[in-house]
Amino acid sequence: MSSASTLHFAVIGDPIGHSKSPLMHNAAFRALGIDADYTAVHVTREGLPAFLESARTSLSGFNITVPHKNAVIPFLDGITPRAALAGSVNTVSVRDGKLFGDTTDAAGLERAVQEVFGLPLKGANVCILGCGGVVRALAFHLADAGCARLRILNRTAEKAALLTDEILKHAPALDCGFAALDDLPSVRNALDGSDLVIQCTSLGLHEGDGSPVDPALIPSSACLFDTIYRETDILVRCRERGLRVSGGLPMLVHQGAESFRIWTGREAPVDVMRAAAES
Ligand SMILES: NC(=O)c1ccc[n+]([C@@H]2O[C@H](COP(=O)([O-])OP(=O)(O)OC[C@H]3O[C@@H](n4cnc5c(N)ncnc54)[C@H](OP(=O)(O)O)[C@@H]3O)[C@@H](O)[C@H]2O)c1
């Protein structure tokens, strides 16, 4: 039951009906006895400026999902250095009518990889499949976390080339390179010796989708983390080969937990949030 002192939070996106964030955050508020609620709000591109103006007085914070993670930035009063590097915001805190943006996707991925595989990013050989918004945040985070080698494989090689240039300017000592997904010898080289392969393309979101690379090329000693929640072709085929694999749910839970910490200043009840996301 909401009262005058209840804090209000939300997630915005288009579409938004599928979001598990309300389940996770409401369960977390309940578990810690925090008087707050969290709702999903459908916001179109055209409706974004009006939503943000009203959020200054009506909300304490909100999450942002597709397609607004970049578009929101010019409307904010400040963003963290990591959000500026990523060019992406998924968490906004409202303080005294001002909007402050941050991104928790990459920190969520790092915690998920630690939790599921026990694999530290420092010193790891990492190969990323894809080069969209999530990869931008992830690549700078991996560079800062001290990964030993980073390879970015993308359908559109030019995008991976541009990001690789930016990463090398940010972290000149990093062994960082890219290749086109259809350049088989380079893909083979990039995957060879990988400790961690992170699947960040949208291929696999739909039933019947194939894999962005031949799963047989991924070393059997590697861990495969697929950012997609469902059982993708690459995840199933790597698991059949005996690789350690994970779908994207732990990342969702940990990026949400990081948002929760930012808003409340309290440690998030991760197990409660995970159980809610799985329900
Ligand atoms: N688990 C979580 O918490 C979480 C959070 C955020 C996102 N995600 C997932 O992360 C993935 C990427 O999200 P995003 O925001 O970065 O998406 P995005 O910006 O739209 O990028 C999509 C990427 O997929 C590639 N791609 C699309 N169709 C492809 C195909 N048929 N073959 C090969 N590559 C293809 C694109 O390649 P081109 O550059 O060539 O177009 C691009 O690199 C999505 O699957 C999303 O569901 C998970």
- Domain of 215, CATH number, reads 3.40.50.720
Ligand 1 within 6 A of CB of 187: no
Read off the CATH number of the domain in which 52 is found: 3.40.50.10860
Residue 47 maps to a domain: yes
pLDDT of residue 150: 98
CA of 30 to the centre of ligand 1 (A): 33
pLDDT of residue 106: 96
Residues 154 and 237 both lie in one domain: yes
Q: What is the pLDDT along the chain (279 residues), one digit of tens a residue?
A: 678 899 999 999 999 988 999 999 999 999 999 999 999 999 999 999 999 999 999 999 999 998 999 999 999 999 999 999 999 999 999 999 999 999 999 999 999 999 999 999 999 999 999 999 899 999 999 999 999 999 999 999 999 999 999 999 999 999 999 999 999 999 999 999 999 999 999 999 999 999 999 999 999 999 999 999 899 999 999 999 999 999 999 999 999 999 999 999 999 999 999 999 999
Contact present, 144 and 152 (Cβ < 8 Å): no
Ligand 1 within 6 A of CB of 134: yes
Length reported for the chain: 279
Using DSSP's 3-state secondary structure scheme, residue 204 falls into: coil
- According to DSSP, the β-strands at 98-102 and 91-95 are antiparallel
Residues 127 and 236 both lie in one domain: yes
Residues 25 and 147 both lie in one domain: no
Residues 92 and 174 both lie in one domain: no
DSSP annotation of 132 reads: S
Nearest CA to ligand 1 atom 39: 156
Integer angstrom CA distances of residue 123 from 105, 129, 143, 161 = 21, 19, 10, 23
Residues 19 and 128 both lie in one domain: no
pLDDT of residue 133: 86
Q: Which domain, by its residues, includes 217?
A: 106-247
Residues 12 and 47 both lie in one domain: yes
Residue 1 maps to a domain: no
Residue 2 maps to a domain: no
Contact present, 262 and 91 (Cβ < 8 Å): yes
Residues 137 and 44 both lie in one domain: no
Residue 148 maps to a domain: yes
User: What predicted TM-score, i.e. pTM, was given to this entire model?
Assistant: 0.95
Active-site annotation, residues: 69
Distance CA 24, CA 9 (A): 12
Residues 191 and 233 both lie in one domain: yes
Using DSSP's 3-state secondary structure scheme, residue 45 falls into: coil
Residues 111 and 229 both lie in one domain: yes
CA of 117 to the centre of ligand 1 (A): 22
Q: Any bridge partners for residue 128, and if so which? A: 152, 198
Nearest CA to ligand 1 atom 26: 201
Residues 49 and 87 both lie in one domain: yes
DSSP string, 148-166: SEEEEEESSHHHHHHHHHH
Residues 188 and 65 both lie in one domain: no
Count how many domains the chain has: 2
Residue from 134, 152, 254 to probe ligand 1 pocket by mutation (most atoms less than 8 Å from CB): 134
Contact present, 233 and 211 (Cβ < 8 Å): yes
Residues 36 and 70 both lie in one domain: yes
Using DSSP's 3-state secondary structure scheme, residue 210 falls into: coil
